[in-house]
A and B are shown apart, each in its own frame.
Chain A
Amino acid sequence: MKRSPVVIKMVRITKKFPGVIANDKINFEVRKGEIHALLGENGAGKTTLMNILYGLYRPDAGEIYIRGKKVTIKSPNDAISHKVGMIHQHFTLVPPFTVTQNIILGLKFPKGVLKIGRAEKRVAELSEKYGLKVEPRAQVWQLSVGEQQRVEILKALYRGAETLILDEPTSVLTPGEVRDLFKTLRSLAKAGASIVFISHKLDEVIEISDRITVLRDGKFVATKKTSTTDKGELARLMVKREVIFRLKKPKAKLGKPALEIKKVSALSDRKLPALKEVSLSVREGEILGVAGVAGNGQRELAEVIASIRKATEGKVIVKGKDMTNRPPSEIVEAGVGRIPEDRLDMGLITDLSVKENLVLETLRDFSDKAVLFFPEGVFLNHSAIDKYADKLISEFRVITPSREVPSKTLSGGNLQRLILARVLARNPKILVASEPTRGLDVGATEYIRRKLLEQKTRGAAILLISEDLEEILTLSDRIAVMYEGKIMGIVPARKAKIEKIGLMMAGTPLSKIGR
């Protein structure tokens, strides 16, 4: 095959965020007419790298060359003028506008005259040419997610994009829509466009791409020709870690079932079934890991247990007591510690100070006597709060200038330590931890995992929900796999075979997997 020219070259790109290096001297190039996959786990730095190319972030170091010329990209407008377009995971469309209106939104017209008819024709031509079937006059809110994605692609093409970046484009699509998308991408590449396909799904990447660049923990690992590699090699490149810590799973005495979930069903935010008769039981001194690809009901499961999402059916039983759909405050009082997935928006109130965040769940413990109308007491004992906060800050090694600063000034790892401090300080009988180490650096990850194991040894029943399979395998005693809101099977971690778990994560129930 003749080598086509390099369109985009990114050299030693480095981007730091507080507490984490998202991109560490990454090299990346894309050729004309190529579909180039960016592969890596969540948090490997794929999206950050592409946001830099698209002008959403400025790199701390490194250079970008487009068609051989060194460029600085300061904004998406700059990127578009270099014919680079990006389609994000979350669309940026205006629902009451038509497809065409959305596509031309923000564009300039000669003499300021809006020629919508001509724009519609152009949209229709583009959609015909690349098989992006969509009605130019339809209003966006009426369209399916797949169609909306096509509008986003058309938007980029309409602006003359010759390099398209797609961020996890298949995560929102049905299998049929994925096939259509792939067809479109192939025809675009044939017509000379370059495509960057961000994904963490091996099968798709192998199916669609010409070359694959693997990132891991913000570092460049390798660029491979798709025809000369295979799933096994890619998986190794993607997940292999230098073993920095190896945790020994301590044995703990198994007690009674502390958290029982019995045939629980619940709806998603969009009112679609998200949990379908899920049953789980966690015993004291045990970690039950819930594995699965993100978006298969894990978030809803955690929310139903925390009682901030209604269970439509089934029961949540805490220490033998039915707590289904009780107010969240009662769940807290019942001794259920929760480490939520969404640290910034749920786990903490980032505008409030570090100390306030440490005591908000337990204000009752720091107040005087309850009186009429004030069941939680009236006045706070500030000196007790200060002492308690200082104790937790040093015990959990939270790095903060003082207990009084707004918690939003802390780094990611310290925010998670803060949540951990608040939750673990109460010695919860039951702990529901969702993605406890996501996005954290190695040190913070190890610390948090050790703490979870400590809690287990102490006799807590822990439900660990994580997308990170390695984490599940490292910590769990038993592993349950979720797929589309159902439990595919539960296996003891000791005997768990990765292939079996992989198959369950892809939707095969345990009962249908042979030995």
Chain B
Amino acid sequence: MRFPKLKVEKRPLPDLKTKILWPVLSILIALGIGAILIAAAGVDPLTGYYHLFSGALGDVHAISETLWRFTPLLLTGTAVALAFRCKFWNIGAEGQMLIGATVATFFGVSFIGTPSWLLIPLVIISGFLAGALWAVIPAILKAKFKADEVVTTLLGNWIILYFVGYLVEGPWRDPTSLWPESPAIAATAVFPRLVSGYRVHIGFIIAIFFAILFFIVLRKTVWGSQIKAVGANPRAADFMGIKVTRVLITVAILSGGIAGIAGVNELCGTHLHMKGLGFFGGTGELSWGYGYAGVFIAMLGGLSAIGVPVAAFFMAVMIQGSRAMYRATGVPSPFFYAMEGIILVCLLLGIFLTYYRIRRVKG
């Protein structure tokens, strides 16, 4: 058998059309593969997708639910994208979320009776600082000892996950609860809803604020230029007099801080109790894998300040929609996890094809 001879070559410079065409095409292909999965579950794919999209965007309630899920995803996606922009491979948004929520729980539970205007800023700032601390340690280890931050940030996730487990099973356990969880935070620490009756809350505004901040930092500031330079070539950046270590540390602070706020968002906007793995399991954790999803979203969004919110929104639609599809048709909602993988693989191929083309050669 003769294979056609193919040649991979770099495209000169992809224009805007190619840059948009391929990612869109790859998402469509991923949805096509998803259709096969839906069909395998015995449901007509068109019906399945109809319920998926109408369940996520069909009415005001659905949109509110989607935005409520979009909030933490936008925060962790922004946190990770910022770090990745200067090649600080922060895989630890999950841990930074949890530590942020933990510290916020401490203030939220201890300061019952404090008015909202004081307590809400307090939990947000404390969550930011805790997340920042959890990210800055790996950054310092990287700067001082060249410790690989992929390893240190990832391990940090497990440390904090089990520490939270200890807290909610041990000293912080709410004795009146059946589950390993902390007592509820003060009512004045709960994030107010934007519209009563709908779950989307002020965390949404905070997430949008950080997404815009990310945009402004990259486009308009000295610091953003330095981040891009360090990310593209740290050796050259150092040579040009950019303080590479300082850029690394400051990026870690903001990245970890935003992830920390994602944790506060989940605590004060959704769960109201600190939750975690108890010794015998529990009701689930505070974060539904949002920290890891942040890595996915950052990559999906091409680390760009425009792409990340789009990717986070798309992800929120998929999560929210999968659940709606499950309720309507019985396609198991973990369908969403399969889609996550399929989309990523298709998109990586799509990105590759944006910059390279495959040509058939004669002979």
Contacts and interface: CB of A to CB of B under 8 A. Distances in A.
A340 B236 CA distance: 10
Contact of B240 (A332, A380, A382, A406): A332
A345 B233 contact: yes
Contacts of B239: 306, 308, 328, 338, 340, 346-347
B240 A376 contact: no
B232 A409 contact: no
Interface stretch (A40-48, A131-139, A360-368): A360-368
B225 A380 contact: yes
Contacts of B243: 327, 329
Contacts of A352: 228-229, 232
B118 interface: no
Interface string B229-258: 100110111111111000000000000000
Interface in B200-249: 220-223, 225-226, 228-229, 232-233, 235-243
Contacts of B220: 379-380, 382
- Which of B225, B226, B228 is most buried by chain A, counting CB atoms within 10 A of its CB? B225
A361 B221 contact: no
Contact of B232 (A308, A328, A351, A374): A351
A348 interface: yes
A349 B225 CA distance: 12
Contacts, number: 78
Interface residues of B, number: 20
Contacts of A332: 240-241
Nearest to A330: B241
Interface string B342-358: 00000000000000000
B232 A329 contact: no
B222 A380 contact: yes
A278 interface: no
A306 B241 CA distance: 9
A333 interface: yes
A339 B229 CA distance: 18
B195 interface: no
Given A327-B243, A345-B233, A351-B232, A356 B225 contact: yes
Nearest to B250: A373
A359 B236 CA distance: 13
Contacts of B241: 327-333, 361
B13 interface: yes
A308 B233 CA distance: 14
A356 to B, nearest CB: 6
Nearest to A72: B363
B222 A363 contact: yes
5 contacts: A349-B232, A350-B233, A360-B229, A363-B222, A376-B226
Q: Which 10 A-B pairs have the closest CB atoms?
A: A329-B241, A332-B241, A351-B232, A349-B233, A367-B222, A349-B232, A361-B240, A363-B222, A376-B222, A360-B240
